[in-house]
Structure 1
Amino acid sequence: MAGGTSIWFSKDAQTDPKEIFNLRLLYLLISVAWGGCFYGFDTGNIGGILTLKSFENAFGMASMSEVEIDNRKGTIAAMLAAGGSAGSILAAPTSDFVGRKWSVFLWGAVFLTGAAMQMVANYDVLIAGRFIGGMGVGASSMLTPQFLAENSPKSIRGSMTATYNLMILMALMLAFWVNYGVSLWSYQGVETDDTQWRTAMGIQLIPGGLMCLMIPFVPETPRFLINHGKSEKGRKHLSMLRKLPTDHPYVQLEYQEITAQVRYEQECYQGHSYWVVMKDIFTIKSNFQRFFLAVMLFLFHKFTGTDSLNYYAPEIFQLIGVKEGSSSLLTTGVYGVVKFVVTIFYVAYLVDRVGRRLPLLVGATMQATAMLYLALYLRFAGSNTHTVGGTPAGGIVGIVWIYIYALGWSFGHSVACYVVAAEIFPTRIRSVCMSVCFFINWIVDYGITRATPNMITEMGWGVFLLYAMLTYAGVIFIFFCLPEMKGRSIESMDDLFQRPLWTMWRHAYPTEEERVRQGVMDITRKAENEDHATEKKDEGRSEHTEYVRSRG
């Protein structure tokens, strides 16, 4: 990471002190972002593993009816999301009382425990392991963006927070290709050998182990420390992260913003109990508007149908004419590559240069249109329309539209809700708000994942039409209600959300004064002017002394 005039850095970042883009910040980013791999590997693994004959034989699915198989597959895939909903709620108290750093470590260890249990060829143990592993995934999905947002310089906060999503998609892509690789195994007895599915399942242990090894060497977030009465330690950690002295103007401005926010909250609101925090969320207009916006973004994020594609991509490709087996897994692997490559571009360039709002509007429109094509194609051409020469022309166009969907997803709903939720809330209520948002995210994920096999069987093309209409509705909501967060400090969000939510489109892009919390810039300028006046006064005294000496 470096400053200077790199084209990958926003205009704001190019004017920041180059010292703040340092190896310590890079180490923190890598250590925490491993949490994204938990979700990516598990999501990408299970869809392909469920199609392997060795897995079906290991868990007694080979002799079941189609309805029983649909139910069991849905339960296995969805149990991760059920655990995720529990983990996302439990992450809030650990984050607030144990601290951000050790909460990340704790839930990483929980994930490792669940991942290890999934290697056992027993249905009950597998279900329990997926629930426990899901708790680690759900907690990490809330804690990782929060940790990254609280430690990031505001000029690259979007890129750093979005790295969590980049790691999800990197792991998702790798999982797709691991599944494709093991599907090509053809030695005698492969269909009864547990090694095949365990190889694909076991890869998720790697990022969990790396995160738990690296996190102990990462500092606690300055915002957490200052909010819990450890101001000097918070200032020290801020100075250490920015690699600047504590009296440097950049550190002073950021520290003043954090302390001003904490002081304001302490003066206005008493107590840190969750009852008091919930009252603050639902009775204070600016807090409730932020909470409502974040919840709606997560709902529309799920209503795009991404979970159906991620968990059941091989089956969906078969619907539009791709042959069953390694061909559908290969097509799924390419789908993962498209998502990963486009997300790299989003994280490295778009999110902190173009922003969150415009890419989300464009990307969501692309997703909705792709789903609409799939619905119309399946409605008029039917499903599983194989031809002698392979996939029919309409099916090939469908594959292209799914890849366009992946492109739109990667710089739209894939990242935006995580980044926005991590940066719009004040420190006092951030953990609770993010936990509720991620609980909703995971409980809807559970419902969609559990129901998808049955929905495809019962509704067919109607599933994709439903996703298309919901995603178009989300585009309208986003246009009117989502302001641009790029360049704003976390603390300045208080001023922004005093306005009615439906008018945010009029104030979408911040002026220079709106980038910093009101009053803090004045305090900083006043301090700088006083320092300048003192320096002038000292210079005057020195000149007078020299004059007196020269006169004898």
Structure 2
Amino acid sequence: MAGGTSIWVSPQAKQDPKAIFNLRLLYLLISVAWAGCFYGFDTGNIGGVLTLPSFKHAFGLDELSKKAYDDRRGTIAAMLAAGGSAGALLAAPTSDVLGRKWSVFLWGLVFLLGAIMQMIPDYSVLIAGRFIAGAGVGASSMLTPQFLAENSPKSIRGTMTATYNLMILFSLMLAFWINYGVSLWKSPGTDTNDTQWRTALGIQLIPGALMCIMIPFVPETPRYLINHGKSEQGLTNIVKLRKLPADHPYIQTEYQEIMAQVRYEQECFQGHSYWVVVKDVFTIKSNFRRFFLAVMLFLFHKFTGTDSLNYYAPEIFQLIGVKGESSSLLTTGVYGVVKFVTTIFYVAFLVDRVGRRLPLLVGAIMQASAMLYLALYLRFAGTNTETVGGTPAGGIVGIIAIYIYAFGWSFGHSVACYVVAAEIFPTRIRSVCMSFCFFINWIVDYGITRATPNMITEMGWGVFLLYAMLTYGGVVFIYFCLPELKGRSIESMDDLFQRPLWTMWKHAYPTEEEKVRHDVLEKTEQNHSIVPVDEENKGPEAAVHIEKS
């Protein structure tokens, strides 16, 4: 990213001044994206850790009946999501009072506390630790996309915001392989040695510590500063992040768009209290359309069944015929690799070239079809956990179907809802709306994760059929209601959502004029004479940018 454009950025980014792709922006990206590892490591770890004999012995799970074991492991896995729902709600006031930067830092410390508590072999402490760590994960899941979107140049905003999801899947993959590695420890006493499961859980302390060390050195988001009456400091931070002079056309366009948004909100709306903000969300049509769209995307994101696969992948692979604990963990590890590699492709190429809409539609169809196959296979072949010999042919196809599911997930529902929620809301209501969206995300996560062991026992193949039908329903909603956001400025979303949501498919792809807020576009068209003072930054990039604007 530093020093120029690359395969990681869109063709539109090549028209921007090269100076904006710099080491300071890269440092900010890495610092904040560590938060994705909180979610990924915990989600990937716990499913495998629950199958380790040493963990079962440490927490007394090996002495329980099947039903009691299902209930307890469901509670252990789901407690992170319960904390996540609380953290997502609490993230909004901290984001608006402390600022985006110090909120990310605060919730990073909360996550570290919870992760440390999970290392103690006591069931009550484990549950409390997972709830506290979950609060850190839930808050970070809201704050991180917000922070990245508010600091990103619009030409690579999708790529930068999606990097959070890339880190989720990187750590998820790594956690799967760590679980596989520790499952191979066969020295005497391994089944009663706490080192095995502590190694798997302790890895999540590393990204938490790295983020907390690096965050103090990144700048606060200009949009937050300007929205809170610190316009001079906001302009200063834009200049720092973009490494361009204050009078450069690129800086002036970005700054004026933010100022125009803030002026509009101050003229039309009174106060920043949460009651006033919530009232504006539900009574102003354009705001409610954005809110409804984001909430529905998060619901369909969860209704694909990803949490069941992430938390209980080893058992699901055993259900379709994979034999042995280590074999199921190995197959789960490959599942993590497929997710991660596909997400790299999404972040590097799709999100800011092809966009958000088309990959999501294609990916969701792949996910639904894979779930439909699993449902039909288990319906007519039954579970294969008792069969003798290797994995049956239909089970092998089932493994491939799960990998196809992972492929579709990684450039579909995995990323889209995070990116869209971070992009579409005006600054004044962004924290509250994103906080509620992520509350929905985590509370549904809790319900699905807690219920999955019992659902698989009671419903069997019906679980996968339910996920397939819900995901197909999501495809219909996405087609009609989700516009393409690639290349649009955050402030231009006001113009876009003046239209009814169900007509978005007719206006899905923006013209060049629609990528900039209309009042700023009119102003810049009247001021083509703006010329950058810094000779080094003159050139075709700046000229093209102002003409595009």
Structure 2 length normalisation: TM-score?
0.96
Look up the match of 1:373.
Answer: 373
The Cα shift of 1:292 comes to 0.0
Equivalent residues of 2:108, 2:208 under 8 A apart: yes
Query: What is the 5 A alignment of 1:82-121?
Result: 82-121=82-121
Q: 1:177 to 1:389 in 2, by over 3 A?
A: same
Please give the per-residue CA displacement for 1:288-324, whole angstroms capped at 9, x wherever unaligned. 0000000000000000000000000000000000013
The alignment partner of 2:352 has SS state of helix
Look up the match of 1:429.
Answer: 429
The 2-side partners of 1:209 and 1:531 are apart by 44
The Cα shift of 1:222 comes to 0.2
Look up the match of 1:223.
Answer: 223
Relative to structure 2, which stretch is displaced further, 518-527 or 414-423? 518-527
The Cα shift of 1:470 comes to 0.1
Equivalent residues of 2:5, 2:18 under 8 A apart: no
The 2-side partners of 1:189 and 1:6 are apart by 52
The Cα shift of 1:66 comes to 0.1
Look up the match of 2:319.
Answer: 319
- The one-letter code sitting in structure 1 at the alignment partner of 2:334 is V
The 2-side partners of 1:397 and 1:60 are apart by 36
The Cα shift of 1:9 comes to 2.4
- The one-letter code sitting in structure 1 at the alignment partner of 2:141 is S
The Cα shift of 1:531 comes to 7.1
The Cα shift of 1:254 comes to 0.2
Look up the match of 2:404.
Answer: 404
The 1-side partners of 2:518 and 2:460 are apart by 53
Look up the match of 2:520.
Answer: 520
Please give the per-residue CA displacement for 1:479-538, whole angstroms capped at 9, x wherever unaligned. 000000000000000000000000000000000110000110221232334779xxxxxx
1:331 and 2:362 correspond:
no
Query: What is the 5 A alignment of 1:49-128?
Result: 49-128=49-128
Relative to structure 2, which stretch is displaced further, 300-309 or 7-16? 7-16
Look up the match of 2:176.
Answer: 176
The 1-side partners of 2:531 and 2:18 are apart by 24
The 2-side partners of 1:5 and 1:59 are apart by 52
| Unpaired runs of at least 5, structure 1 | 533-552
The 1-side partners of 2:495 and 2:152 are apart by 21
Look up the match of 2:540.
Answer: none
- The one-letter code sitting in structure 2 at the alignment partner of 1:159 is T
The 1-side partners of 2:267 and 2:507 are apart by 29
1:348 and 2:348 correspond:
yes
Look up the match of 1:420.
Answer: 420
1:255 and 2:227 correspond:
no
- The one-letter code sitting in structure 1 at the alignment partner of 2:487 is G
Look up the match of 2:503.
Answer: 503
Look up the match of 1:438.
Answer: 438
The alignment partner of 2:518 has SS state of coil
- The one-letter code sitting in structure 2 at the alignment partner of 1:25 is L
Look up the match of 1:208.
Answer: 208
The 1-side partners of 2:392 and 2:227 are apart by 60
The Cα shift of 1:146 comes to 0.1
Look up the match of 1:486.
Answer: 486
The Cα shift of 1:10 comes to 1.3
- The one-letter code sitting in structure 2 at the alignment partner of 1:12 is Q
The alignment partner of 2:491 has SS state of coil
The 1-side partners of 2:191 and 2:52 are apart by 8
Structure 1 length normalisation: TM-score?
0.95
Look up the match of 2:538.
Answer: none
Q: 1:25 to 1:5 in 2, by over 3 A?
A: closer
The 1-side partners of 2:463 and 2:24 are apart by 47
Look up the match of 1:542.
Answer: none
Query: What is the 5 A alignment of 1:241-252?
Result: 241-252=241-252
Equivalent residues of 1:101, 1:221 under 8 A apart: yes
Equivalent residues of 2:223, 2:234 under 8 A apart: yes
Look up the match of 2:454.
Answer: 454
The alignment partner of 1:488 has SS state of coil
Look up the match of 2:26.
Answer: 26
Look up the match of 2:185.
Answer: 185
The Cα shift of 1:385 comes to 4.8
Please give the per-residue CA displacement for 1:50-88, whole angstroms capped at 9, x wherever unaligned. 000000000011111000000000000000000000000
Please give the per-residue CA displacement for 1:440-466, whole angstroms capped at 9, x wherever unaligned. 000000000000000000000000000
1:285 and 2:288 correspond:
no
- The one-letter code sitting in structure 2 at the alignment partner of 1:308 is S
The 1-side partners of 2:394 and 2:159 are apart by 37
Equivalent residues of 1:287, 1:425 under 8 A apart: yes
The Cα shift of 1:6 comes to 3.5
The 2-side partners of 1:333 and 1:530 are apart by 55
The 2-side partners of 1:385 and 1:107 are apart by 42
The 2-side partners of 1:431 and 1:3 are apart by 32
Please give the per-residue CA displacement for 1:255-299, whole angstroms capped at 9, x wherever unaligned. 000000000000000100000000110000000000000000000
Q: 1:514 to 1:79 in 2, by over 3 A?
A: same
The 2-side partners of 1:11 and 1:318 are apart by 45
The alignment partner of 1:436 has SS state of helix
The 2-side partners of 1:193 and 1:329 are apart by 20
Equivalent residues of 1:222, 1:235 under 8 A apart: yes
The alignment partner of 1:112 has SS state of helix
The alignment partner of 1:125 has SS state of helix
Identity of aligned residues (%): 82
Equivalent residues of 1:303, 1:471 under 8 A apart: yes
- The one-letter code sitting in structure 2 at the alignment partner of 1:48 is G
Equivalent residues of 2:184, 2:326 under 8 A apart: yes
- The one-letter code sitting in structure 2 at the alignment partner of 1:405 is Y
Q: Which has the larger radius of gyration?
A: 1
Equivalent residues of 1:3, 1:9 under 8 A apart: no
Look up the match of 2:536.
Answer: none
- The one-letter code sitting in structure 2 at the alignment partner of 1:282 is F
Equivalent residues of 1:100, 1:221 under 8 A apart: yes
The 1-side partners of 2:250 and 2:306 are apart by 41
Equivalent residues of 2:4, 2:21 under 8 A apart: no
Please give the per-residue CA displacement for 1:233-261, whole angstroms capped at 9, x wherever unaligned. 00000010001011000000000000000
